[in-house]
Amino acid sequence: MRWVKIINTLKLKAKLKEKNMTQEELAAKIGINASTLNQKLNNTIGETLTIEEATKMSTILDISKEERIQIFFVD
């Protein structure tokens, strides 16, 4: 399984705000616990988003291919 190594949380949070969505709502839509999403975004548990989770987020938040590069940097 591939993981997203670096997340531009400021750009992601701006996208959430643009879509009038909270992290809690996004977490529910991608099927994970809100606190887990927060920890993954802030890399506080040593685990980051999976490619599947990032892909779901991109779809839900209508993130363009260009924006994905700016938000999710895949190792």
pLDDT per residue over 24-55, tens digit each? 999 999 999 999 999 888 877 667 888 899 99
CA–CA distances in Å: residue 13 to residues 33, 34, 35, 37: 17, 14, 15, 12
pLDDT (0 to 100) of residue 8:
87
Q: What is the number of alpha carbons within 13 Å of residue 43 lying toward its C-beta?
A: 8
Percent of the chain with pLDDT over 70: 88
Q: How far apart (Å, rounded) are the C-alpha atoms in residues 67 and 69?
A: 5
For the question of whether the overall pTM of this predicted structure is more than 0.85, the answer is no
pLDDT (0 to 100) of residue 43:
75
| pLDDT, average across residues 66-71 | 88
